[in-house]
Amino acid sequence: MKKRLLGLFFAWCAGWCVLLAAGCLRADEKSKVREPAVAGAFYPGQAEVLSKLVDQLIAQAVVPANPGRLVALVAPHAGYEYSGAVAAHSYALLKGQKFERVVVIAPSHYEYFPFASVYDGDAYVTPLGSVPVDKEFAAKLAKLSPLIQLSSAGHVASGDKREHSVEVELPFLQRALGSFKLVPIIMGEQNYDVERAVGVALAKTVAGTNTLIVASSDLSHYHPYDEATSLDGKTLRAIAEWDYLSMSENFGARVWEACGGGPIVSAMIAAERLGANEARVLKYANTGDVTGDHSKVVGYSAVAFLQTASHAARSEKFSLSAKEKELLLQIARKSVESAVTGKTYDPQPPAFDALLQERGAFVTLTENGELRGCIGVVTASKPLYLAVRDAAASAALHDPRFDSVAPSELSKLDYEISVLSPFHRVLDTKEIRVGRDGLLMIAREHGGLLLPQVPTEQGWDRETFLEQTCRKANLPADAWQDEDTDIFAFTALVFNDRGVGEGIMPQVPSAAQPSRPSTQPAPDSPKP
């Protein structure tokens, strides 16, 4: 009897061990959790202290009146001591709001991979608790593009490589929203293809849901205070003008700086397609404002992308005075004269603020009324006076359709300059106005641009203009109707040395044909 009881006891114990083991195995299978990597470093590691700090920062932030419908935010991801007060201006907008889901798009600081990594685990954890990953939403997102993958790449901390770009945003979200589901995305590659893939996929999956998008990014790093504020001001102006195409190009070329520039561009692409029509810069500061050390600072911004009934113009009307136009024409002429003799013209920075703004520009050269060369700097990558200088020299020497200008021709040349406005994606092709708008078409590694004067000179209607822009991009004529094609419109301020003009209609038609949007000079053609 005793042996039988002992046998039953051991059998019972063995059964429980099997059940417990099975239970542990199932728990392991269900639990892939990203533990906090920078708690106690970037922000307090104790829940009570962290909650109090975040609440204080949000309470001190300024909330704009009647902001409209919030679609997306930009917030920095540095240590709270430095960037927390700026981040709070974004998260203060969440007071009284409820979002079922938050998508955080962030950069990878330590690991490269050629895609956007959507975390394939179950949760992110901070001292304030666990935030569950919306795995169903993440799976739908990853199915929309090969450039978006379910992965742990960029998310898992290893040794001293403790990625913080998603994690630092979470305590603010936890205190502002309470419970929500998380979709953490880390971009291992930041270029327009990946940025567009993430933005378009988000627009499709977010539409009709109660979802907030957050782009995690700091701005310039380790420049003197005045240089940093100037550099960051260019980025913030482009955000306010909604010119994410120039932003993507300039971030990629390292002309402007934002470690999460790609996430910002993706958020703007998604927000635009979700109805946002205003980008509002809520706060800017840098480490110099906190520490008093202005020698090497890091910039931070809080930005909201909103849908408003009456939004501010995305860009102010750009104009130049007669003196500013005359100076640009002089710079173009001297640049050509120097280039023809094998030298580079180095003008002094002008005293006109408008000429120091980053602007795209084309210079057209004619001789006896015939086109002699036309090259442009497409995106806003350098000060206008330097864009004109470089475009002029390239028009004289590097237009592939012509021989280089000879010294004997210099006195015969006429000059025309087209200053480009920021690029805005066309939301409805019916809004394109022939004679006012130029077009840039981008799709499948191809790009082509036509200046506003081309369709008027050629007598095209709107549809022909679209078709011919496709042809300039080496795309089928009907590619403008494809959802994978982005159409950007812009205007141009055109003037020449045959009488400095005010309008956008030039005397000589021209059209650029870059292989992709580029900060490098692009050749121009008077024919489609």
Read off the pLDDT of residues 421-454 as tens digits, 9 standing for 90 and up: 999 999 999 999 999 999 999 998 899 999 998 8
Instruction: Note the pLDDT of residue 26.
Output: 40
Helices (H), 292-425: 322-340, 353-356, 384-397
Task: Report residue 425: phi and psi, to 5°.
Answer: -65, 135
Q: Say which CATH superfamily domain 322-523 falls into.
A: Hypothetical protein ph0010; domain 1 (3.30.700.20)
Lowest mean pLDDT among 82-86, 333-337, 374-378, 516-520: 516-520
520 compared with 285, residue with greater pLDDT: 285
Distance, CA of 273 to CA of 256 (rounded, Å): 25
Select from 341, 345, 360, 515 the least CA-distant residue to 423. Answer: 360
Contacts within 8 Å (CB) and 24+ apart, 320-328: 320/354, 320/419, 320/493, 320/495, 321/352, 322/500, 323/352, 324/350, 324/352, 324/354, 324/355, 325/417, 325/495, 325/500, 326/500, 327/352, 327/355, 327/385, 328/355, 328/384, 328/385, 328/388, 328/417
Q: How confident is the model at residue 144 (pLDDT cuts 50, 70, 90)?
A: very high
pLDDT value at 107 more than 80 = yes
Q: Which of 142-151, 283-292, 314-323, 511-520 is predicted with the least confidence, judged by mean pLDDT?
A: 511-520
157 vs 79, residue with greater confidence: 79
Q: Where are the beta strands (DSSP E) in 225-381?
A: 278-286, 297-307, 361-367, 370-377
The strands making up 33-34's β-sheet, listed across from edge to edge, are 33-34, 123-126, 129-132
CA distance 441 to 397: 26
- Asked if residue 6 has pLDDT above 60, the reply is no
Give the strand order in the sheet containing 361-367.
Answer: 492-496, 413-420, 361-367, 370-377, 522-523
For residue 199 the two structure tokens come to: 């933005």
Distance CA 480, CA 477 (A): 7
Confidence band, pLDDT 50/70/90 cuts, at residue 160: confident
Confidence check: pLDDT of 515 > 60: no
pLDDT for res 516: 38
Percent of the chain whose predicted confidence (pLDDT) is above 70:
87
- SS3 for 486? strand
- Give pLDDT, residue 510: 34
Band (pLDDT 50/70/90 cuts) for residue 499 is low
Element (H, E) at 126: strand 123-126
Please, which pLDDT band fits residue 88 given cuts at 50, 70 and 90? very high
Q: Which of 458, 457, 437, 461 is nearest to 449 (CA)?
A: 437
Q: Taking residues 486-501, what's their average pLDDT?
A: 86
What CA–CA distance (Å, rounded) separates 163 from 161? 6
> Do residues 397 and 403 lie in contact, with contact meaning Cβ atoms separated by under 8 Å?
no
| C-alpha span between 89 and 404 (Å, rounded) | 55
Write down the residue that tokens 């708008």 correspond to. Answer: 437
Closest among 430, 438, 435, 413 to 513, alpha carbons compared = 438
CB distance 283 to 294 below 8 Å: no
Residue 519 above 80 pLDDT? no
Q: What is the pTM of this model?
A: 0.86
- 522, 513 contact by CB (below 8 A): yes
Surface-to-core class of residue 384, CB atoms within 10 Å of its CB (0-12 exposed, 13-18 middle, 19+ buried) = buried
Average pLDDT over residues 105-120: 97
Out of 213-222, 255-264, 315-324, 363-372, pick the least confident: 315-324
Residues 151-175: what's their mean pLDDT?
94
Question: Band of the pLDDT at 392, cuts 50, 70, 90?
Answer: very high
pLDDT at 157: 85
Q: What is the rounded CA–CA span in Å between residue 266 and residue 115?
A: 13
For 370, other C-beta atoms within 10 Å of its C-beta total: 9
Q: Which homologous superfamily does the CATH classification assign to the domain defined by 33-307?
A: LigB-like (3.40.830.10)
Longest CA–CA separation in the chain, Å: 120
pLDDT of residue 12: 41
User: What average pLDDT does this structure show over 27-34?
Assistant: 71
* pLDDT score of 318: 81
CA distance 407 to 418: 24
Q: Select the more confidently predicted residue: 380 or 16.
A: 380
Q: Binning pLDDT at 50, 70 and 90, where does residue 457 land?
A: confident
Give the residue extent of every domain in the chain.
33-307, 322-523
Q: How confident is the model at residue 315 (pLDDT cuts 50, 70, 90)?
A: low
pLDDT at residue 15 tops 80: no
pLDDT score of 440 = 96
Please give the residue that has the higher pLDDT: either 406 or 444.
406
Q: What is the pLDDT of residue 314?
A: 54
**Among 99-108, 271-280, 505-514, which stretch is predicted with the lowest mean pLDDT?**
505-514
